[in-house]
Structure 1
Amino acid sequence: MHLLFATSIVPDGALASGYEIANAAIIGALRRAGVRVTVIGFIWPGKAPSDPQETIVLGDVEVRTESASPLRKLAWLAKAVHSGLTFSSVKLRVVPDSEVRAAIERAGPFDGYVLNSVQFAGAFERVLADRPSIFVAHNVEHRSAQENAAAAGSALQRWMFRREARLLKIMEDRLCGAARFVFTLAEEDRSALDVASDGRSAVLPLVTRAQAPTGKARRHIDCDAALIGTWTWQPNRIGLDWFLTKVVPHLKPDFRIRIAGNMPSGIASPHPGVSFVGRVADAQAFVRGGAVIPLISTAGSGVQLKTIETFELGLPSVATSRSLRGIGYRPDNCVVTDDPIAFAAALQAAAGNIRDVDGSAFHRRQLKALDIAIGLGLEKLGVVRREVAA
């Protein structure tokens, strides 16, 4: 069986975001099931595909809103309004349908598509309608847009997010309806997309690495709490705002917090222990340097890959309930609370008594469940599911 994995940005090996980590896990599971996977999509400027023999690159594209000029943002908005597409999909309309169709034909005979999230599928929906498909919903995008609208700081932003939510709901309904099977990354997303039947959908439990971490390696602790993320993504920004304004004021002045990742303008904290360190060379080494990991999601859907990575590494954590969506197992060194004062107290207690656990069992459990779920979807495309090794 040969499937085309249609995605906005093709893998370049960097795994710099949760989206890219999830894509690597899903593609890996498809290939373990015996499927030939050819990836088609765009690539970041200056990057090269990690698997060029099995990748079709439609061109390079820069779609990050936070780094775009005001003129570029205005052009995207005008094009979206004129075309009736979402803001996120119109950014990918840099080549015509005919060019995408020709690239697909060059892939040779194939049996169907894996439509990876709504952005690329929404941009080239007509081109991708000629074969059976599986739809991978990384998030319930229309719900995220609704939450973004509620948190928006201006009337224009609220209008844009509300428009996006309305169009995304229509698009998600259409993609789910047309797909042979739907994969979500969290159980509650199946109901939110109206595909809760076991014959229509399954949850993909994800991993952040191909191999389980080996044992409990000794750590060098250089701060009390470490956070890393793409904070320019609005659901992450909402969680960070909650943490800085609601939790941090209840921490002792000497509690050291390091926050890494792309940071939007206007983020600051008067707490003397908070430092913003930007991009780091080794994300895993960075989080392993924190005595405790705050898992601070308060918005969005899908699964939190940082939660999965924390559990795989066996690191102590304090988590909001939203940070655990899509995850059926919680290690005993994870404290869950949505109360900011209790969250701060739990962080200080965990940093004062560091307790790591072996995360390899969690990784193995996730990987086995991922392979089983992938098999369910492939059966809908006519693939005989093989047994997954224990």
Structure 2
Amino acid sequence: MHLLFATSIVPDGALASGYEIANAAIIAALRRAGVRVTVIGFTWPGKPASDPQNTIVLGAVDVRTESASSLQKLAWVAKAMLSGLTFASVKLRVVTDSEVRAAVERAGPFDGYVLNSVQFAGAFERLFADRPSIFVAHNVEHRSAQENAAAAGGLLQRLLFRREARLLKALEERLCCRARFVLTLAEEDRSALGVAFDDRSAALPLVTCAGAPVQNEPRRIDCDAALIGTWTWQPNRIGLDWFLKKVVPHLRPDFRVRIAGGAPSGLTSAHPGVEFVGRVPDAQAFVRGAAVIPLISTSGSGVQLKTVETFELGLPSVATSHSLRGIDHRPVNCVVTDDPVAFAGALESAVADVRDVDGSAFHRRQVMALDAAIRLGLEKLGPVSQEVFA
């Protein structure tokens, strides 16, 4: 079987975000199932595709809102309003339908599509009705947009997020309806998308690397807690704000917290132990240098890949219940609480008694369940050949 994996950004090997880590895991699982996968989408500027022999590149785009100029943001908003597309999808309309169709035809004979999230599928929706498809819902995007609207500080931003939520809800309904099968990254997302039936969908357990992480040397701990993420992404920012405003004030003054990753300007904390360190060269080495990992998600959907990575590495953690969505197994060194005072207390207790565990069993369990869900989706796609579906 030959499938065309249609995605906004094609893999470049960097695995710099949760989206890229999830894509790598899904593509690898499809190939383990014997599928020939050709990826089609855009690259980041200056970052070539990691597998050019099996990738069709439509061009280079930078879709990050936080790094765009004010003029670019206004252009995106205007184009979205005129086209009726979501803000996320309109950023990809730098090529025409005919150009995308010609690129698809260059892929040669193929049996169906894997529509990877809503951005690319929404930008070129009319092009993907000629063959059967599997839809991969990384998140329940309309719910994330609703949460972003509720958390927005200004009226214009709130209205834009509400518009995004309305359009995303309709788009997700269409993509789920047309798909032979829907793959979500969290069990609860199946119900939220209206496909909570075993013949319509399955949740994908994910891994952050092909093999279980192997640590041959003892950890060198140089801070009490470490967080890393893209804090300009609104669901992540909501969780970080909760942590900084609700949890951190209850930590003792000498408790050392290091926060890595892209952060919006003006993000600060009055706690003397909190340090924003920006981007780090090795994310895994960074988190392994902490006694405990706070898992602080409070909004959004899909799976928290930082939770998966923490469990794979066997690191102690304190987690909100929302951080465990999409996770069926919790290791013994993970404490779960949504109470800020209890969260702070659990962090301090974990630092006082650091307990690592072997994360390889968790990784093996995730891979087995991931492969089983992929096989189920491929079975529902059916034994297709080069027939055309109107």
So what's the TM-score if we normalise by structure 2? 0.98
- Which amino acid in the other structure matches residue 205 of structure 1? P
For 1:122 and 1:177, how far apart are their aligned partners in 2?
14
Deviations 1:142-190 (A, max 9, x none): 0000000000000000000000000000000000000000000001100
Partner of 1:349: 349
1:242-257 superposed matches below 5 A: 242-257=242-257
Unaligned ranges ≥5, structure 2 = 385-390
Q: What secondary structure sits across from 1:67 in the alignment? A: coil
Partners of 2:281 and 2:264 lie apart in 1 by 19
CA contact (8 A) 1:311 1:359 kept: yes
Q: Summarize deviations over 1:298-326 as a string: whole Å, max 9, x none.
A: 00000000000000000000000000000
Identical-pair percentage: 82
The alpha-carbon distance between structure 1 residues 383 and 21, as it changes in their structure 2 partners (threshold 3 A), is farther
Q: CA offset at residue 32 of structure 1?
A: 0.1
Identify the residue that residue 259 of structure 1 maps to in structure 2: 259
Q: Which residue number corresponds to residue 322 of structure 1?
A: 322
Is 1:31 aligned with 2:25?
no
Alpha-carbon separation, structure 1, partners of 2:107 and 2:211: 30
Deviations 1:49-97 (A, max 9, x none): 0000000000000100000011100000000000000000000000000
Q: Report deviation, 1:128.
A: 1.4
- What amino acid is aligned across from residue 70 of structure 2 in structure 1? P
Correspondence for 2:227 = 227
The 2-side partners of 1:197 and 1:216 are apart by: 43
Q: Counterpart of 2:350 in structure 1: which amino acid?
A: A
Task: Output the CA distance in 2 between the equivalents of 1:382 and 1:132.
Answer: 9
Deviations 1:183-216 (A, max 9, x none): 0000110000000000000000000000012367
Match of residue 309 from structure 1: 309
The answer to whether 1:87 aligns with 2:75 is: no
How far, CA to CA, are the matches of 2:224 and 2:214 in structure 1? 24
Alignment root-mean-square deviation, CA: 0.9
Partner residue, 2:97: 97
> What letter matches 2:8 in structure 1?
S
Alpha-carbon separation, structure 1, partners of 2:164 and 2:270? 34
Q: Secondary structure at the match of 2:6?
A: strand
Match of 1:133 in 2: 133
Tell me how far apart the structure 2 counterparts of residues 356 and 273 of structure 1 sit (CA, whole Å): 23
**1-structure distance, mates of 2:156, 2:137:** 27
State the alpha-carbon separation in 1 of the partners of residues 239 and 381 from structure 2.
Answer: 38
Distance in 2, Cα, partners of 1:112 & 1:299: 33
| 1:277 partner letter | V
Matched, 1:172 2:172: yes
Q: Spell out structure 1 runs of 4+ moving beyond 2 A.
A: 214-217
Q: Distance in 1 between the 2:4 and 2:171 partners?
A: 20
Q: Which residue of 1 aligns with 2:387?
A: none
Which residue type is aligned with residue 98 of structure 2? S
Q: What secondary structure sits across from 1:4 in the alignment?
A: strand
Compute the displacement of 1:101 (Å): 0.2
* Alignment map for 1:107-146 (pairs within 5 Å): 107-146=107-146
CA deviations over 1:336-382 (Å, ceiling 9, x no partner):
00000000000000011100000000000000000000000000122
Structure 2 residue aligned with 1:66: 66
Task: Verify: 1:50 aligned to 2:53, yes or no.
Answer: no
- Structure 1 stretches of 5 or more lacking a match? 385-390
What is residue 377 of structure 2 aligned with on the other side? 377
Contact 1:250-1:344 at 8 Å conserved across structures: yes
Alpha-carbon contact 1:337-1:343 (below 8 Å) kept: yes
SS at match of 2:56: strand
2:43 counterpart of 1:6: no
Describe the shift of the 1:323–1:216 C-alpha distance in structure 2 as closer, same or farther (beyond 3 A). farther
CA contact (8 A) 1:216 1:358 kept: no
Q: CA deviation at 1:383?
A: 5.0
Distance in 1 separating the partners of 2:175 and 2:381? 16
- For 2:383 and 2:200, the matched residues in 1 are separated by 16
1:64 and 1:162 map into 2 onto residues whose CA distance is: 20
Q: How far, CA to CA, are the matches of 1:121 and 1:358 in structure 2?
A: 39
Deviations 1:3-45 (A, max 9, x none): 0000000000000000000000000000000000000000000
Which residue is 2:188 aligned to?
188
Q: Distance in 2 between matches of 1:147 and 1:267?
A: 20
Quote the offset at 1:266 in angstroms: 2.4
Aligned-partner Cα distance in 1 for 2:264–2:144: 18
Q: 1:113 to 1:148 in 2, by over 3 A?
A: same
Equivalent position SS for 1:6: strand
Q: SS at the partner of 2:125?
A: coil
Q: Distance in 2 between matches of 1:229 and 1:272?
A: 21
- Distance in 2 between residues matched to 1:221 and 1:96, nearest whole Å: 52
Q: Give the number of equivalent residue pairs.
A: 384
1:387 alignment counterpart: none
**Offset at 1:129?**
1.4
